Amino acid sequence: MPTGNKASRLRPVAGWNPFGATVQACRVFLGHPGVSPPDVRTVVHPVRASLIRSLLILVVLRALAVRRYRPVAV
Q: Which tens digits make up the pLDDT trace of 4-28?
A: 676 777 777 766 677 777 888 888 8
- Looking at per-residue pLDDT, the higher value among 45 and 65 belongs to 65
Q: What pTM does this model have? A: 0.58
What pLDDT was estimated at residue 23?
Answer: 80
Confidence of residue 39 (pLDDT cuts 50, 70, 90): very low
Average pLDDT for residues 59-70, to the nearest whole number? 91
Closest CA to 50 of 74, 16, 73, 14: 16
Residue 50's Cβ-count burial label (10 Å; 0-12, 13-18, 19+) is buried
